[in-house]
Amino acid sequence: MKRPKNEKIIETYLNHYKHSKQSVKTRKSSLNYFFESKYFGYKGDVFEIDTDNLIDYFDYLKGRDSLSLTSKKLKWTLLISFLNFSMEYYRKYKFIVVIPKHSISWNGIVHKKPKTNKDVVMTKEEVNDILNHLKLRHFNYYVIFRIFTETGMRKGELININYNDVNLEKRCIKTKGKTGEKFYYMSKELSRYLKIYLKERKLRNVNTEALFLSIHSRRFGQRQFNAYLKTVLRDLKIEKVITCHTFRRTLNTFRKLMECPDGDLEFLLGHAISLNRDRYVKLTLEQKLELFDKWYPYLDISI
């Protein structure tokens, strides 16, 4: 009986989780760590995997300083999930491997703490350098990161913007966030740049109302902005771990340094606000824009 090749076995396993794109992506990445030559590099057939191979792989994972303990455990767990699935699904090939238990342990090693940027705030010079770099090289990304800079909008909220929800005259952008509908405000200058962008965007005959389109003419995914930002940081030789969320933290920090009241900070950043303000304070659009302009921290740089 001809046995299926590794690629087919892996495809069958991943297809079992096709209801979740993220699950498929995570499982595929973990299996790559076992099979690809630049990592552990198992070269044999799936049906020839034995306990010795698994112990060796465990030791390989355990010794990888570049991985956090959580990542190591996840990669190990998903390989075992793949093997258990294969033993059941392909039982007619009498594939059986003993999963090691007593000869493996995560104890006795010191793991590096994963890098975090939760305390990173940019300087105005860094904000200026990033935006001017983008303005000269990629106008669409310049507009995207100008929105991050001025609004502190989250990635998911920016991805969810439809072009009809941008009101240039009112300097207002409507989108959806974790807690429902959100409104953000912008400078007159950003409104002028968006007018240029929107004119071209509305000429695109694509099957989505998304404001920003990926290279595949679809709504952006969650990872693409940070991936592009990494190349910009590398070009500018900025060593800080800066992500899209850093723009949100930076904006809020600069406003606080301007002595912006906490209630205005929450309102301008789209945070959940107090019951009193939500129920009893009603501002006109003009008053909201006045608040935005009053606490706009980037007047002293040319972005």
Q: What is the reported pLDDT for 66?
A: 82
Kindly state the average pLDDT of the residues 268-277: 63
Q: Does pLDDT of 302 surpass 80?
A: yes
Q: What is the reported pLDDT for 116?
A: 64
Kindly state the average pLDDT of the residues 243-253: 95
pLDDT digits (tens, 9 = 90+) for 23-52: 999 999 999 999 999 999 999 999 999 999
Q: What is the reported pLDDT for 148?
A: 97
- Mean pLDDT of the chain, nearest integer: 90
pLDDT digits (tens, 9 = 90+) for 225-247: 999 999 999 999 999 999 999 99
**Band of the pLDDT at 180, cuts 50, 70, 90?**
confident
Q: What is the CATH number of domain 124-294?
A: 1.10.443.10
**Band of the pLDDT at 113, cuts 50, 70, 90?**
low
Q: What is the reported pLDDT for 278?
A: 52
Kindly state the average pLDDT of the residues 265-292: 75
**Band of the pLDDT at 275, cuts 50, 70, 90?**
very low
Q: Taking Cα atoms as reference points, which of 87, 85, 61 lies closest to residue 75?
A: 61
Kindly state the average pLDDT of the residues 7-28: 92
- Range with top average pLDDT, 1-5, 20-24, 129-133, 224-228: 129-133
Q: What is the reported pLDDT for 272?
A: 56
The structure's pTM equals 0.64
Q: Does pLDDT of 273 surpass 70?
A: no
For the chain, the structural domain boundaries read: 6-93, 124-294
